[in-house]
Amino acid sequence: MALISSLRSLPKLINKDLFKQNPFKQSPFKEVTGSDLFYQLTYMSAIASSGIARNRIFQMASILPKSPAPYFERIQLLVQKMGYDYSKACNSVGLGLKSEVMASLLLRMGTAFTSGQQERDFLSEEALITGQIYEKEYERDLASLTKWTDAYAAITVSSTLIVIINMTSSLIQTMGDALLLGLVLTAAFSTAITGWVLSRAAPKEEIDLFTEEGPRAQRMALKLRYYSIAAALLACSLFWLLGLSTGWILVICALIILPLGIFSILAGQEIDRKDREFGPFLRSLGSMAVSTGTTISEASSRIDLSSFPALEGDLTRLRRRLAAAIDPELCWHKFAAETGSKLLGETVKVFNDGVKLGADPDVVAFLAADFSSRTIMLRAKRKVTASTFTWLTVIMHGVVAGLMVLVFEIVRNFVLLLQEATANLDPGSADVSQFAMPMFSTPNVEFFRVMVVAMIILFSIINAYAVNVTDGGHKTKIAFYLSLMLMLSGACMIFLPSVVEGIL
């Protein structure tokens, strides 16, 4: 009886020890995002449609490079090493999780397995529902992002007013440099915090791969990434030592980093076009393979590739490699790497693994294309918000930089006029004591110059970062927006002083 009691309590003890985490060891369970979970279930649904065994489904799901994979790896460990069945393992793992999304999914999965529901049916339903939930979450994030973009514009304008009011107020009453510096730092800190909030509010997704195997625009951006930054720093330092004006230095810096930004933008646009075309291509490929009863390689040779102009070159290379009897998995992997798209690579894996396991090509193509199409439509909605915010920020930065330079030049010229008028008076006359404009003070103009230049450069960096995180894509795209901001700032510093001097 003692032996039976100990055996009965063994699973409970194992379960308790299994989920007891070492406080000095990082937990394998990460935060599960909606996009990762949607992709994980789409992949599992595709391979389950081939009719493979349950343990094979969990084994392949556990090695997928996504955040939900460690949960399925834990289930597989309980089944293989501890002798659990899958329903009990799903319930045991689900009950020990802090993630409500994964806990709910695994508990439902355990219940479905207990009731005898087929894996393909359950995973297909969950993938469909999770896709709809992911769409709603993405749209909520976009709504929040839209509100924060409005707040960012308001805070940027308010920060500019702080700088302008500081300069004009110093003409009436002398303010200490420490107080002015504190107010300016507060304005800069507020703008930077709002930019950081934008990065947190924006939907998290990786769009561009930017590898050495990618298209030409991506490869050029990778090559220019380090050279452009180093060249810009070196050139700006050299011209500053030579005494060139700040405006021209900013323009030169903008021109140096502009090619990096252009190639990054072109690479992003190319990926968008390829992503839009790949879903229809997969559906055509799956339908062709089923209707003709041929292999994927033969079906691809019967499709008119001119219908997919953005992918025509990549698909032609893929067709030739498949016709040469090269391993299909290697061909598809190379195809995904050469396109440079993260979404296309994920979609290829769903399609290729499902077909390789024996699933119907049209079924797997529909699942993969549905995942791709949903993601593309959500990104299109994001583009609407991002494009509006992008050009609003660029125009706003030009206006803000122009106002700060304009007010500074007015203050500087006014102080010069005061000093010139005071110098022309006789120091011993009564005019000096009675009419030397005692209501005005003489502020530190050089400190204002440093403050205005620093704020303009800081605003350029923060605005470029805010636009980049709102738009999404690879981080090198920030070079394009930063070059626009610096070029506008330099133009304001070059032309506006002569305008003020002409007026005054």
Q: Which pLDDT score is estimated for 8?
A: 40
Q: Residue 104 contacts by C-beta under 8 Å, 6 or more apart in sequence?
A: 94
C-alpha to C-alpha distance for 337 and 211, rounded to whole angstroms: 8
Q: Which pLDDT score is estimated for 176?
A: 67
Q: Residue 267 contacts by C-beta under 8 Å, 6 or more apart in sequence?
A: 208, 210, 214, 215, 217, 218, 221, 340, 474
User: Tokens 């806990």 identify what position?
Assistant: 103
Q: At 208, is the secondary structure helix, strand, or coil?
A: strand
What does each C-alpha distance from 348 to 56, 283, 285, 399 come to in angstroms? 20, 12, 12, 46
C-alpha to C-alpha distance for 420 and 457, rounded to whole angstroms: 32
In terms of Cα–Cα distance, which of 130, 92, 88 is closest to 113? 88
Structure tokens, 403: 């106002």
Low-confidence ranges of the chain (pLDDT < 50): 1-26, 430-437
C-alpha to C-alpha distance for 44 and 55, rounded to whole angstroms: 12
Q: Which pLDDT score is estimated for 19?
A: 40
The distance from CA 182 to its chain's CA centroid, rounded to whole angstroms, is 32
In terms of Cα–Cα distance, which of 116, 115, 137, 117 is closest to 125? 117
Q: Report CA torsion sign: 502, 255, 269, 304.
A: positive
String of DSSP letters for 274-312? HHHHHHHHHHHHHHHHHHHT--HHHHHHTS-GGG-TTTH
C-alpha to C-alpha distance for 333 and 360, rounded to whole angstroms: 20
445-503: pLDDT as tens digits: 788 888 889 889 999 999 999 999 998 888 889 999 999 999 999 999 999 888 888 77
Q: Residue 304 contacts by C-beta under 8 Å, 6 or more apart in sequence?
A: none
- This prediction has a pTM of 0.84
Asked if 343 and 207 touch (Cβ cutoff 8 Å), the reply is: yes
Backbone angles phi, psi at 341, to 5 degrees: -105, 130
Sequence letter at residue 34: G
- Count Cα neighbours of 171 within 13 Å in the Cβ-side half-sphere: 17
User: Tokens 């304008």 identify what position?
Assistant: 157
Q: Which pLDDT score is estimated for 443?
A: 67
C-alpha to C-alpha distance for 17 and 12, rounded to whole angstroms: 9
Asked if 438 and 431 touch (Cβ cutoff 8 Å), the reply is: no
Using a 10 angstrom Cβ sphere, with 0-12 exposed, 13-18 middle and 19 or more buried, the burial of residue 178 is exposed
Element containing residue 160 per DSSP (H, E): helix 119-169
User: Tokens 């399925």 identify what position?
Assistant: 72
C-alpha to C-alpha distance for 188 and 455, rounded to whole angstroms: 7
Please list the residues that pair with 341 across neighbouring strands.
208
Percent of the chain whose pLDDT exceeds 70: 88
* DSSP for residue 475: G
Q: At 341, is the secondary structure helix, strand, or coil?
A: strand
Structure tokens, 126: 């969950």
Asked if 253 and 232 touch (Cβ cutoff 8 Å), the reply is: yes
